[in-house]
């Protein structure tokens, strides 16, 4: 028998284990008869890894419903490899209850209660997700067969040497030999930015508290004093988790109030949290409605768009996100919203979709945009209720105009400029900002958690299809500005805002906390200052609010600017660290780049300079450019990954990413000759080996 081929996978979280499942499924078709040893290197147990580990607060949840999470491929998946079905998260929970799958080990009363009572449309805790991922890992091992052996090394890789075979240095001092290496280290922190270092220095000089961007579950919040004012920059998922830990996590309780609205009963240990960000509002709520009308299809970024990419490549033309993609994205979103409104709620529109769609298509094609007067006139003529109309700019920056479309005089149709509202005449008291954000959250909940608002489901699903389509565009097809800024910044941030928001009940809780005075909102375009004279942090934000003075001449829709401001001795930057390999706090990622083993994507900058995306350069199959036998998956790799796991029945991107990578790994493994294989590794490691 030939020597086994050793694959070292650095990381054992969901992406690594889903890759292992795809290697198992493709093994005999791509590398028949090859004996493979897979070595998973991670200090955390396989399946959940660090982010989804069991040892975290039971208050922290996924931002996906139970029925929307799957580990295994299904009939919808369009893959080169075979589909190997398995239970979704919801199927697994039902199976555990029926005794079809083993009951998770090491549970406690809280987890037992969740497992017994959770519904398919509820949002599971991260701890329950860990139980599902752990079972899926062991199920993958059961399916693997005798030609694939898997070993977990409870250790941390710190360096990789050699060009194949490889020698992997572990934190314990041991070494591991491997023929191929997969980097799947997942989310990591970054070295402090210059701003974070300056804020930390100011805090140290004045006896203040500063928390730099980090993963919320890993942050020590015990030092935040009860009753103190806290500035929180950021209103995404990290900020929502932070609010949970500093309120309910400190003993507060939510109870049903009059009319079913939530009330918050403080414990007295909470600080007062002042939240603000660039948009000034949380990510859009997760949607719980169902499509009532026609299914989602792409009209502008579908097959014809991808066919045109080949012609561009022949001509040597690179895509520019703002010029070539964003207008088409906007057109898709507008179309997706109105398709569902017209076909799912025909009683709320003036004509049929069959009559409206050609008019909409002609307007979008003529302007190649979404904010033209002609489009607004078309919508007004066919959608009677202003609440049913969709404006992309107002959706993206909701505090830039009042609910009926009025803007601050002099700001134009886009509302508040990016520099904020400083200097706008007629600024009103800061309570107006707080009330404006609360009103927005209430409207967002009504739109996205009731069946009457299913047009927002059409919007979301269209955005998801757009994301999947753009993910299939090779990174090399984009110009420098798109690769370094627009795609990882503007596009990813916008998509997260529209599609990756918190569960609706988290926003209901946020409103209850605002009612209790535990949370206040600073608004948009938050500006931070370190006040040396007073030795405190100050922050201010803004919003457009309705002018109720009655003095304005513009009548209905008149608006003016409002500004809120606060000073505090604690500042928390509540967002995830950027994924930049060379600046990561993971020593292995830094070593890979600084040693020249792999490279970050370098793109031309201005005046002959070079910029970098901060991410590793890899092909669509995960193979690292210029680094034979080495592969990478995760947020530090260039291009969309689609996350670790995703919805069943949607031909989801992670399955395609993992399948391509698994097949590339197996092709490389099958091509290795006996003389190219690694020698036996030195001393044995403490490990959990598949029985």
pLDDT tens across 434-475, in order? 999 999 999 999 999 999 999 999 999 999 999 989 988 988
Confidence (pLDDT) at 417: 31
Angle at 538 between CA 533 and CA 543, to 5 degrees: 145
How far is residue 117 from each of residues 61, 121, 123, 505, measured CA to CA in Å?
15, 12, 12, 17
Q: Is the pLDDT of residue 585 over 80?
A: yes
Q: Give the integer Cα–Cα distance in Å for 629 and 626.
A: 10
Three-class secondary structure of residue 646 per DSSP: strand
Q: What is the per-residue pLDDT across 265-287, written as a single tens digit (0 to 9) for each?
A: 999 999 999 999 999 999 999 99
Two tokens at 398? 């909701």
* pTM assigned to the model: 0.88
The full DSSP string for 213-260 is S--GGG---TTS-TT-EEEEE--SHHHHHHHHHHTGGGT-EEEE-GGG
pLDDT band of residue 258 (cuts 50, 70, 90) is: confident
Mean pLDDT of 595-611: 69
Who wins on pLDDT, 685 or 363?
A: 363
Model confidence at 556: pLDDT above 50 = no
State yes or no: pLDDT of 682 exceeds 50: no
Q: What is the dihedral of CA 348, 352, 356, 358, to 10 degrees?
A: 160
298 and 465 Cβ atoms separated by less than 8 Å = yes
Q: Give the helix, strand, coil percentages of the chain, each rounded to 5.
A: 40, 20, 40
Q: Are 344 and 455 in contact (CB under 8 A)?
A: yes
pLDDT tens track for 378-414? 999 999 999 999 999 999 999 987 754 433 333 333 3
Nearest alpha carbon to residue 281 among 397, 385, 114, 449: 397
Read off the pLDDT band of 343 (50, 70, 90): very high
Cα separation, 140 vs 20, in Å, equals 8
pLDDT for 238 equals 93
Q: What is the DSSP letter of 623?
A: B
Q: How far apart are CA 573 and CA 199, in angstroms?
A: 10
Give residue 604's pLDDT. Answer: 64
Between the alpha carbon of residue 237 and those of residues 282, 502, 537, the distances in Å are 8, 6, 23
pLDDT in tens, 3-29: 899 999 999 999 999 999 999 999 999
For residue 151, give the 3-state DSSP assignment: strand
DSSP at 323: I
Write the Ramachandran bin of 622: left for phi over 0, alpha for psi from -120 to 50, otherwise beta.
left
Q: Are 202 and 28 in contact (CB under 8 A)?
A: no
Structure tokens at 188: 């990591």
| Least confident stretch, 93-107, 529-543, 583-597 | 583-597
Q: Percentage of the chain with pLDDT > 90?
A: 68
Q: CA-to-CA distance for 86 and 74, rounded, in angstroms?
A: 8
- Tell me which of 301 and 215 has the higher pLDDT: 301
Range name among 131-140, 177-186, 365-374, 387-396 with the lowest pLDDT average: 365-374
Question: How many CB atoms sit inside 10 A of residue 142's CB?
Answer: 11
Highest-confidence range of 141-150, 419-428, 596-605, 667-676, by mean pLDDT? 141-150
Q: Where are the domains of the chain?
A: 5-59+70-90+126-189+617-689, 191-576
pLDDT, averaged across the chain: 87
pLDDT at 407: 38
pLDDT of residue 603: 66
Q: Please, which residues bridge with residue 182 across strands?
A: 9, 631
What per-residue string of b and e applies to 249-272 under the rule 16 or more CB within 10 Å gives b? bbebebeeeeeeebebebeeebbb
Residue tagged 């414990």 (tokens): 267
Look at residue 332 in the predicted model and tell me its pLDDT: 97
Q: How far is Cα 585 from Cα 188, in angstroms, rounded to an integer?
A: 7
Closest-CA residue to 162 (of 174, 178, 173)? 178
499 in Cβ contact with 467 (< 8 Å)? yes
User: In a 10 Å sphere around its CB, with 0-12 CB exposed, 13-18 middle and 19+ buried, how is residue 337 labelled?
Assistant: buried
Contact residues for 440 (Cβ-Cβ < 8 A; gap 6+)? 281, 398, 399
Work out the angle between the directed axes of helices 455-471 and 431-448 (0-180°, nearest 10): 90
Per-residue pLDDT at 655: 92
pLDDT value for 218: 87
Q: Indicate the pairing of strand 610-616 with strand 600-604.
A: antiparallel
Quote the CA–CA distance of 339 and 458 in Å, as a whole number.
Answer: 7
Q: Report the C-alpha gap between 179 and 436 in whole angstroms.
A: 59
Residue 626 has pLDDT above 60, yes or no: yes
Question: Strands, DSSP E only, in 11-147?
Answer: 36-41
> Which residue has better confidence, 605 or 501?
501
Record the tokens describing residue 214, joined without a space.
């980090």
Query: Considering the domain 5-59+70-90+126-189+617-689, what is its CATH architecture?
Result: 3-Layer(bba) Sandwich (3.50)
3-state secondary structure of 291: coil
Give Cα 460 distance to the centre of its chain.
14
**Closest C-alpha among 638, 626, 594 to residue 480:** 638
What single string gives the DSSP state of each residue in 299-321? SSSSHHHHHHHHHHHHHTPPB-I
How many residues would you count in the chain? 691
Answer whether 543's CB lies under 8 Å from 281's CB: no
Q: What is the arithmetic mean of pLDDT over 498-526?
A: 95
């Amino acid at each position: 028998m030939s020597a086994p081929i050793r694959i070292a996978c650095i990381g054992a979280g969901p992406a690594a284990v889903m890759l292992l499942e795809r290697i198992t499924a493709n093994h005999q078709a791509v590398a028949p008869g090859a004996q493979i040893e897979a070595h998973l290197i991670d200090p955390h147990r396989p399946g959940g890894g660090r982010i989804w580990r069991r040892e975290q607060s039971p208050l922290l949840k996924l931002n996906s419903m139970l029925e929307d999470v799957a580990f295994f491929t299904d009939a919808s998946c369009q893959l080169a490899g075979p589909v190997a079905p398995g239970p979704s998260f919801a199927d697994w929970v039902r199976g555990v209850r029926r005794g079809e799958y083993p009951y998770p080990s090491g549970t406690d009363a809280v987890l037992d209660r969740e497992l017994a009572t959770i519904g398919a449309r509820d949002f599971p805790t991260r701890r329950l997700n860990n139980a599902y991922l752990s079972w899926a890992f062991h199920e993958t091992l059961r399916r693997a067969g005798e030609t694939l052996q898997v070993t977990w090394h409870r250790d941390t890789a710190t360096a990789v040497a050699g060009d194949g075979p490889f020698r992997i240095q572990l934190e314990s001092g041991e070494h591991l030999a491997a023929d191929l290496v997969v980097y799947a280290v997942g989310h990591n922190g970054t070295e402090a930015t210059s701003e974070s270092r300056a804020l930390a220095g100011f805090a140290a000089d004045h006896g203040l508290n500063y928390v730099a961007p980090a993963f919320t579950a890993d942050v020590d919040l015990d030092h935040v004093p009860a009753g103190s004012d806290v500035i929180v920059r950021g209103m995404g998922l990290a900020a929502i988790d932070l609010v949970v830990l500093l309120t309910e996590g400190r003993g507060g309780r939510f109870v049903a109030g009059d009319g079913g609205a939530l009330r918050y009963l403080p414990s007295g240990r909470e600080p007062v949290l002042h939240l603000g960000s660039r948009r000034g509002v949380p990510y859009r709520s997760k949607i719980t409605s169902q499509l009532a009308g026609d299914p989602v299809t792409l009209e502008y970024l579908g097959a014809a768009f991808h066919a045109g990419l080949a012609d561009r490549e022949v001509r040597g033309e690179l895509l520019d996100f703002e010029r070539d993609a964003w207008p088409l994205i906007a057109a898709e979103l507008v179309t997706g919203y109105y398709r569902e409104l017209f076909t799912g709620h025909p009683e709320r529109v003036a004509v049929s979709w069959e009559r409206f769609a050609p008019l909409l298509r002609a307007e979008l094609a003529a302007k190649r945009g979404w904010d033209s007067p002609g489009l607004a006139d078309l919508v007004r003529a066919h959608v009677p209720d202003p609440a049913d109309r969709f404006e992309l700019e107002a959706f993206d920056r909701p505090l830039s105009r009042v609910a009926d479309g009025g803007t601050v005089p002099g700001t134009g149709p886009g509302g508040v400029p990016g520099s904020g509202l400083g200097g706008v005449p007629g600024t009103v008291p800061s309570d107006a900002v707080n009330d404006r954000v609360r009103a927005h959250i209430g409207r967002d909940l009504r739109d996205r958690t009731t069946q009457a608002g299913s047009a927002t489901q059409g919007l979301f699903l269209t955005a998801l299809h757009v994301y999947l389509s753009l993910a299939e565009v090779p990174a090399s097809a984009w110009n420098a500005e798109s690769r370094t800024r627009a795609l990882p910044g503007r596009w990813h941030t916008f998509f997260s805002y529209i599609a990756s928001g918190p569960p609706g009940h988290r926003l209901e809780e946020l409103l209850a906390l605002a009612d209790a005075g535990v949370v206040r909102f600073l608004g948009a375009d938050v500006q931070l200052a370190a006040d040396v004279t007073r030795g405190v942090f100050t922050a201010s934000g803004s919003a457009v609010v309705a002018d109720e003075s009655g003095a304005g001449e513009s009548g209905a829709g008149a608006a003016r600017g409002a500004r809120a401001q606060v000073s505090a001795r604690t500042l928390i930057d509540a967002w995830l660290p950027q994924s930049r390999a060379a600046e990561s706090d993971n020593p292995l990622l830094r070593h890979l780049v600084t040693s020249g083993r792999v490279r970050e994507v370098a793109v031309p900058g201005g005046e002959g300079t070079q910029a970098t995306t901060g991410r590793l350069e890899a092909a669509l199959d995960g193979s690292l450019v210029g680094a034979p036998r080495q592969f990478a998956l995760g947020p530090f790799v260039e291009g969309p990954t689609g996350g670790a796991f995703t919805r069943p029945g949607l031909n989801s991107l992670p399955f395609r990413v993992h399948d391509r990578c698994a097949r590339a790994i197996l092709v490389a493994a099958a091509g290795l000759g006996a003389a190219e294989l690694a020698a036996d590794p030195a001393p044995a490691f403490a490990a959990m080996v598949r029985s």
